[in-house]
Amino acid sequence: MNEAYHASLKVITTLESHGYQAYWVGGCVRDRLLGKEPVDYDVTTDAHPETVQRLFSKTVPTGLQHGTVAVIQDGQMTEVTTFRQETGFTDHRRPRQVTFVKDLSADLSRRDFTINAMAQDRYGNLYDPFKGAEDLKRKVIRAVGKADMRFQEDALRMVRALRFMAQLSFQLDAETEEALLRQKKLMRYLAVERVTMEFHKLWKTRQPSQALELLWRKDLFSDLPPFHRWNPSTLDPSSFTRLDDIKDPQICWALLLYLYGARGPDITDRLHSLRLSSKEVAFIRKIYQLALGWHLTESDEKDGKRLLLSEGLDVLSKSLITASRMYGWEKGNVQTLQQALKRWYREMPVHGPEDLQLNGQILLESVGRKPGPWIGQVIQVLLEKVALGEISNQRELLIQEGCRLVQDS
Ligand code: ATP
Ligand code: MG
């Protein structure tokens, strides 16, 4: 068991020693029953959020109005949520009202799927009123209670159902799937940010294609923001398997855009419509563009190093993987080229202007010319020469070469 587990155990023990109930709940119980190491260990308790804040010296109110407080101990964060019931779902998104309750099973009944609605105490007793453990064995995602109603309350649960399917390699329970198809139009009410967040988790699963194929086959994309506006001209759903075993959200977004037929300015618009940050948009667009026009081979060392200098290793490696999936290249060739990129990068004495033994100021003083755009241009040429091993990274040599370049220009 890891540190996160021990931190959460301490939280449970402290709460119990003050007379409160406390259990592990949700994803961590599910993952442990599956024999997987949980990502995080969430705790649920009948203690009110203010009590949790009082009992622990370091807390962060991550979602106080919903009853969630993060407890920090030994550098580990444990999310502690007060038993609650949710009512007043009016916009198919979020509950209008959250009521704290004293009963664990009431809290479990507000959770989305039976496999996520289990709790466990520190003595190993499992609380599983909706037979989640049985569904884990049957490998099905089944809604807690009436699936139609649960999807009407919060339409994101439909997206989550598909995400968990891919994450666990499970099937949708037949009734849950029928309800999903009946309620799919409600996905239109969803805030894009929440959809994008679920996709972010989907991209980290082994087989996002499981979810994507169902989304496509059952025409769910046409109700799912922002995809409902994307309108692909032609798309072969079997091509979704190209996204499997990548587990990198940036590459997956770039590939999905490609499969959706986005080209040119469409790419930026679509990335923005996913509400990704501007930094993320710029990075993914770069990956996409480089991948689309990829022509580098192992013999193109100079071009490769130039590109590494301007784009960096991360962008270039990710573009290569993207290109290999776009065009269906052989794995072996891609690996060789990937290794070449890493080798070239290691060999380069400089990776950016900050590594150069000369800066604009020194160059300016040495040349004795009026400042202007020439400074940046000369630094760039010198940087490239050093990166390619044509001249060594020594200040005197760089000044000499810089003066020569200025005279020639
Ligand atoms: P993962 O390990 O992939 O994070 P998880 O089960 O922890 O999976 P989270 O999204 O972190 O999933 O949510 C934590 C728990 O909160 C879930 O297990 C579930 O019980 C509950 N939950 C989360 N979102 C919803 C929702 N929209 N409707 C109902 N219950 C939800
Ligand atoms: Mg979680």
In the DSSP assignment, the letter for residue 23 is E
Q: Count CA atoms within 13 Å of residue 133 on its CB side.
A: 12
Which residue lies with its CA nearest to atom 28 of ligand 1?
A: 112
| Residue 160 CA, closest ligand 1 atom number | 27
Is 282 a pocket residue for ligand 1 (Cβ < 6 Å)?
no
CA distances from 303 to 23, 294, 307, 387 (A): 57, 12, 6, 11
Residue 247 has a pLDDT of 96
Q: What is the mean pLDDT of the chain?
A: 95
Q: 């993952």: which residue's tokens?
A: 31
Residue 233 has a pLDDT of 65
* Block mean pLDDT (10 aa), the chain, length 409: 93 98 98 96 97 97 90 96 91 88 96 98 97 98 98 97 97 98 97 97 96 95 94 84 97 95 87 96 96 95 96 97 95 94 98 95 90 94 97 95 88
Best residue for ligand 1 mutational test, from 84, 111, 144, 180 (most atoms within 8 Å of Cβ): 111
Give 3-state DSSP helix, strand, coil % of the chain, rounded to 5.
55, 10, 30
CA of 339 to the centre of ligand 2 (A): 35
Burial class (CB in 10 A: 0-12, 13-18, 19+), 79: buried
Is 81 a pocket residue for ligand 1 (Cβ < 6 Å)?
no
- Considering Cα of 193, then 196, then 198, then 201, what sign does the dihedral take? negative
Residue 156's identity, in one-letter code, is L
Separation CA 408–CA 95 (nearest Å): 70
CA of 26 to the centre of ligand 1 (A): 6
| Residue 201 CA, closest ligand 1 atom number | 3
Best residue for ligand 1 mutational test, from 43, 77, 78, 112 (most atoms within 8 Å of Cβ): 112
Is 46 a pocket residue for ligand 1 (Cβ < 6 Å)?
no
CA distances from 353 to 130, 177, 393 (A): 60, 55, 11
Provide the edge-to-edge strand list for the sheet that holds 119-120.
59-63, 68-73, 76-82, 43-45, 22-25, 119-120, 126-127
Residues 149-204: tens digit of each pLDDT:
999 999 999 999 999 999 999 999 999 999 999 999 999 999 999 999 999 999 99
Residue 279's identity, in one-letter code, is K
User: Residue 141, SS3?
Assistant: strand
User: 140 — phi, psi (to 5°)?
Assistant: -125, 150
Tokens of 400: 């000499």
Burial class (CB in 10 A: 0-12, 13-18, 19+), 101: middle
Separation CA 349–CA 341 (nearest Å): 14
Counting ligands in written order, the one closest to the CA of 159 is 1
Is 135 a pocket residue for ligand 1 (Cβ < 6 Å)?
no
- Its ipTM equals 0.98
CA distances from 106 to 52, 53, 103, 110, 126 (A): 20, 23, 6, 7, 15
Burial class (CB in 10 A: 0-12, 13-18, 19+), 24: buried
Residues 258-295: tens digit of each pLDDT:
998 888 888 999 999 999 999 999 999 999 999 999 99
User: Residue 72, SS3?
Assistant: strand
CA of 62 to the centre of ligand 2 (A): 14
Which residues, including other chains, have CB under 8 Å from residue 327's CB and lie 6 or more apart?
A: 294
